[in-house]
Each structure stands twice: as structure tokens, then as C-alpha cells.
Structure 1
Amino acid sequence: MIAGWRLLTAKQKKQQQQAENAAEGGSSAAKKKKVTAAQLRVQKDLSELSLGSTMSTDFPDPDDILSFILYIEPDEGMYKGGRFSFTFNITPSFPHEPPKVLCREKIYHPNIDLEGKVCLNILREDWKPVLNLNAVIVGLQFLFLEPNASDPLNKEAAEDLRNNREGFKRNVKQAMAGGSVRGETYQRVLI
């Protein structure tokens, strides 16, 4: 793995040197931006994504592949009929550090707090450089199919899920419609 990384870095340096040499002999418009290892890895991960019909991505700045938005529209489970968006911000240390992922909507979910922080083990202690963006996206999708009450960020939602599954389902529907649950008002996410 390390040898592959060194080869990639050597290849990247060679490409950068060629671009700089070409720019020195020509106009400044010929100069290319340097590509980082994180950008190369993200480009590879994005090219390998298999987003089903329930997911899509948006790049607000087409020149910045390290920041994008993922949309998930669950077609089954308790969150069916909703549309949820997540910002992905990837640091130059990727893949050695996981992407920073936040839910943009205020939703009622045991694994997503009211500020949008996501509790997903591969975004924290279980992250490994061999994991890719697809693994994160599958993990997010799974949170909508099977919310996890044993590792919560929203403790009240987790308590409802553990103690009264039917009540939890009603609360999810009410929150998704833009209603209030336990005195907290949520954003309408129904499509």
C-alpha cells in the first residue's frame, strides 16, 4: 500500500514538473494547478460510486471536488418519502482522515444530532485509509434503513426507538412533515 502511494506521488510530481516546464516556455494560462493526493483519491472514489436512484451528488463549486453535497431519498423504511442532504468536506489528509460529514436538515434521528453531526463509526474510530467514499455513503443510507439506538447522538430519539418503536415511527413522520417532537421543531423534508 505504501509503495503504491509512493508511486502515485512520484507520478504526480512528474506530471506537475511537466506542467511547470510547459508553463515556463509558454503563457501563464498554460500553467496547471497542482493536484493533491487527496484530490486524486477523491476523483478515483467518485468515479467508482454506484449511486442508486435514491441518491445524487451536487458540486456547488465544480472546481472543488473536495466539497460536495450528497442527497438521499430513502425508498423504504421509516424515513421513506424524505429528502436529506449531507455536506462532505474532505481535508488534504484524506484518505488518512475521514471526510467531515454533516446533515444539512434538522431531523429526528438517533444517530444525527440537532446540529447535523452524524454518528457513524467509520467517520470516527473505525476509519481506515482503505475505506472509500462509497463506504461512507452506504453507511449513511443504512442509517435511514436501520437507525441505531445503541450508539446515539440524539438520546431522546434513541430512547423512543428502544422503548416504543411505533411511537418512534410516528415521531419520525411528524418531524419529517415539519412538526414538533418533544418541544423541538424540525424541518420539513417530505418530497
Structure 2
Amino acid sequence: MVSSFKPRKRKPGAGRKPNSVPTQAIRLPAPLVHHLLDLKKRGELESFYPGKMGKIFAGTAGVSLRIPLFESRVQAGFPSPGDDYSEGTLDLNDYLIPHKATTFFVRVTGESMTGAGIFPGDMLIVDRSLNPSDGKVVIAVLNGEMTVKRLKNNKDSLLLCSENDRYPDIKVTPEDEFSTWGVVTNVIHSLS
């Protein structure tokens, strides 16, 4: 008997998406699934990425806090007389986070990005809606490890570049599991 097996055509949009991380199906009791989805919908469920990256928490609705913004500029050179005229107010949420639904914060460890003004203990503001294009500082996941690096996209290779000569650049190979989680838009650096 001759087999009539024919391989199926791949459906458009099927399969793992480019630059995605592997997933794993798990079995849960049906009542627990409903409960977990409800917690996620309310923003009370923390999500995490396995490995050494730590937890990523779901955002919650923030409170607007408007702080006075003064019209006069502050001299970093010779002092100039100041005035007390307030230009208006500034809400840091609006100023630093234009895409609230796709933004997260992550704290830095390590010194590979000090040349870009990113130091251990700094808080990075990361926007997942921005295109991780050449030259941008990105949060990347390489073989299960989260890192912050400058993305260099050469015609024949992809590099994750450090901004400190003591740390080598990393060439991403086809064998690597690689994805970007977002583009770093701002750095919060405490002076104390």
C-alpha cells in the first residue's frame, strides 16, 4: 500500500515569532486559570522570566503628581541671578513615560555601560513599543540572561556592545536564543 502523506503548508503567522523566547505549556486546574486571569486583569499578578533576570512586575495605574517647573534655567557654569517665576507644572509620568502600557523599569547591576552614563544601582526606563534599531541602548535576553547593551546591527552580524573597555562586545550567533525586551529611554541616577 502506498502512503498518501503530504506535508502541510505552513500557515501565515504560525510558529514562533522572530526574536521571541521559548514558551512552555503547563496544566492548571480550570478554576485556577480563571483566578489567575482575573489577577492579571486587575494588575495584581507579578510575572517573571525564569533564570537570573529577576522578576518583572505588571504596572499599575499611577497617581499624577504635578511639581512646579521654573522658567529660569540653572547655570552649570557661572551663576546668574534667578527669578521666582513658575512656568507651570511637570508630571514626571508624562515626561518620562509616553507609552505607559508598554513601559517597565529595571535596576542595573554591573559596570559594562558606564560610558553611556549607566551605573550600578541606576533605574532604567524601558519602552517595549520602540523599535530596537541600530545604535539604541536595549534590554536584551541572550541565552536566558538579561543584559543592557548598545545594539549594533552590521550587515553580516548583530553585536551587543558594552560602553566600558573592560567588557567585550558580544556577537549574537544563529545558535543563540536572542530577543530584545525594549529600548532604554531614560536613566534615573541618584546622586546620594
Q: Same fold (TM over 0.5)?
A: no
Bigger Cα Rg: 2
Name the structure with the higher strand share.
Answer: 2
Q: What TM-score, normalized by structure 2, do the two folds share?
A: 0.29
